[in-house]
Copies of this chain bind each other. A is one copy, B any other.
Amino acid sequence: MNATHRGDDERSYHHGDLRKALLQTCCEHIACQGTEGLSLRALARQAGVSPTAPYRHFDSRQALLAALATEGFEELAESMAAADRDDPIEALFECGRNYIRYAEANPVKYHLMFGDVIGDFSGHEALFEAARHCYALLEAKLVNGQESGALRGGDVRELGGTVWAMVHGLAGLVITARSKAAQAPLADILQIAPLRAQQAVAEAPERALLRLMEGLISDPADLAGLWKRWGAEKS
């Protein structure tokens, strides 16, 4: 099977799965060298193909990055959708937690998704759609919580924007704390090294997330329950 794969010959005209190889190599390259010096030609070199071979798979350098970011949004959506608790408050909290965990586990893609590397999503329809879908997931959970009365009311778009922005900020912080210093200006600023102790890094953002939820929940009793469950889960 796998007719496209050519077996184990070393040299051959066709590569096997250059597209995937490029995406992979690109990720690694960004993780080490950052996004600045990245060149399609270098990727091609590393994959052992001719300098312009990548253009058979991606229209442009931007398109490669966009493809990676699209993958990221799809995976992020999957993570967010995995938070399907019955209780809307818990669902929302878990959604945020999964979001942060995804960012932490995939800093390079997250960086591409929200950094300024791509600049403008227009012209990358798939990317745009994937991103939109992600936000829709959050908004759905918010609406759900509002309708059940668990979350306080208000314009859901403003609420969603605020929540996303703050969780995004936390995610950025976590990434910063994890990565040595590459592509992480905040790390230096915040002198974050001490935070790197495993547990502190894991718990701090979740505590922050819980605090964020204080602003969203209608009945304080609900929140107390959430803290309690969280504490229990940790031990």
Chain A contacts to B: CB under 8 angstroms: 34-36, 62, 111, 113-122, 128, 131-132, 134-135, 157-158, 160-162, 164-170, 172-173, 177, 181-183, 185-186, 188-192, 194-195, 200, 204-205, 208, 211-212, 214-215
Contact = CB atoms under 8 A, between A and B. Distances in A.
Contacts of A161: 173, 177, 190, 192, 195, 204
13 contacts: A35-B119, A135-B190, A157-B190, A157-B194, A161-B173, A161-B190, A162-B170, A164-B186, A165-B169, A165-B170, A166-B208, A167-B169, A168-B169
A114 B186 contact: yes
Nearest to A174: B165
B119 A34 contact: yes
| Identical subunits present | 2
Given A189-B131, A190-B160, A195-B158, A36 B170 contact: no
A199 to B, nearest CB: 12
B119 A116 contact: no
B170 A204 contact: no
Contact of A169 (B115, B158, B172, B200): B172
B116 A158 contact: no
B169 A170 contact: yes
Contact of A111 (B116, B158, B194): B116
Contacts of A173: 161-162, 164-165
Contacts of A121: 181, 185, 188
A157 B117 CA distance: 30
Contacts of A157: 190-192, 194-195
A14 B127 CA distance: 47
Contacts of A204: 158, 161-162
A204 B134 CA distance: 22
Nearest to A167: B169
Contacts of A191: 132, 135, 157
Given A157-B191, A214-B215, A208 B162 contact: yes
A128 to B, nearest CB: 6
